Amino acid sequence: MHIHIIGICGTFMGGIAALARADGHRVTGSDANVYPPMSSQLEALGIELSNGYDPAQLDMKPDIVLVGNVMSRGNPLIERLVDSPLAFTSGPQWLAENMLRGREVVAVAGTHGKTTTSSMLAWILERAGRDPGFLIGGIPANFGVSAREGKGAVFVIEADEYDTAFFDKRAKFVHYRPRHLVLTNLEFDHADIYPDLASIQRQFHHLMRTVPGSGRVIWNAADPELAAMLAMGCWTPLSGFSRNAIADADWHVRLLAADGSAFQLLRGGAPAGVVRWPQIGLHNVENGLAAIAAAERLGVEPAQAAEALAGFLGVRRRMELRGEAHGVRIYDDFAHHPTAVAATIDAMRRHAGNHRIIAVLEPRSNTMRLGHHREGLVAALAGADRIWMYQPAGLDWNLDEIASKLGAKAAVAGDLAQLVATLAAELKAGDEVLIMSNGGFGGLHDKLLQALRTTA
């Protein structure tokens, strides 16, 4: 079968392309911006990519077209598709009908941490010899790909609450029908889709309604918004986790290192294993705890899961060290919500101690562009020693107001080349540079490394 995917370079649709190719289908696709790492992954699989949305793509007459949720009516390619006799569906619907049916699906949902938690769980299962299938919204370093079919019974999927397609405005995750559900946390996000937190809670509760009584819901028992959502109705046994010991948490931890690089597992207050790993940050401790709790439900003992996490190498674009030049380390992080920004800076502070932390932020997400969370940026960025914010084209509010509240350590740049030059001039050995964006940030990481390497 020939499958053509419109919007193929997003992590989700790119993962579906990889799964379809592994299943023996001919796969082609297009996107407005074909760029690494997803484009490299797809081309390595022999998938033909087209840049842009030329309606002539449909002259190939694919057997079915999968439409990404970035596409909307009015796009010439979509207008031709709707007017044609070609079959089309959404990525989540195709996935549910062709890949998830008959598998023991574990969905990982939440505002933050779902990519990393999914990756950790898949790696634990892999080390336990379970050969899981997975589809993750990032590229786990241990696997080098964002998706694979796997031969085992379990399929791990990162379950996103974003809408499905222009013709299906339900959250993507309601298609997956998981047997087990991991809930990391719940905050307001996706302001371009949801008007308020209550509307997101309703979508999560729609997902809850699909989880069978024979499954398990592993949830962050310290999250009040998740608790409120569960109070709307729950028909599945619960296992709570929390970094600290609280009443509803079956699982918690005892930190053995302040930066989160070592911790002891406690289940029901009793020691259950020790994790010593290359990851840092209290948010990753919680992610790891959630993954271990989910793996235990799937038959992997906590001590075995803890041993597996010792070899977990992280996920690309999650505090990923991109390079070092003249003693300056440059990190790439996907953080684009104030909570994630604060967690990333806190993790680096706990790890780096007195080294200077330079935070460089591009407020690129739709929610940020609409002005939501901008007040939260002040507290989120405050832990850094030096702050640069990039004012991208199309941002409808001025970052200067945030910078003024942060004082002399904060500045705003509107020109990428000038930002690179200024950073290269002011950075010094020992600095830890956190570049945070949910996009490519104009290649800032590599440009800055190159500028530092050519500096005498």
* pLDDT at residue number 456: 55
Asked if CATH classification 3.40.50.720 holds for the domain at 2-91, the reply, yes or no, is: yes
Q: What is the mean pLDDT of the chain?
A: 93
CATH architecture for the domain at 320-453: Alpha-Beta Complex (3.90)
Instruction: Write down the pTM of the prediction.
Output: 0.92
Domain 102-309: give its CATH superfamily: Mur-like, catalytic domain (3.40.1190.10)
Structure tokens at 119: 């990756």
Q: Which pLDDT band holds residue 398 (cuts at 50, 70, 90)? A: confident
DSSP state letters, 327-383: TEEEEEE---SHHHHHHHHHHHHHHHTTS-EEEEE---SHHHHTTTTTTHHHHHHTT
Signed CA dihedral, 294, 297, 299, 303: sign only: positive
pLDDT tens figures, 283-340 = 999 999 999 999 999 999 999 999 999 999 999 888 899 999 999 999 999 888 888 9
Tell me the average pLDDT across 91-106. 97
The domain limits of the chain are 2-91, 102-309, 320-453
Q: Which pLDDT band holds residue 37 (cuts at 50, 70, 90)? A: low
Closest CA to 312 of 80, 123, 147: 123
Strands 432-436 and 357-361, how do they pair?
parallel
Tell me the average pLDDT across 95-117. 96
C-alpha to C-alpha distance for 304 and 167, rounded to whole angstroms = 44
Structure tokens at 265: 């597992």
C-alpha to C-alpha distance for 377 and 371, rounded to whole angstroms = 11
* pLDDT at residue number 192: 80
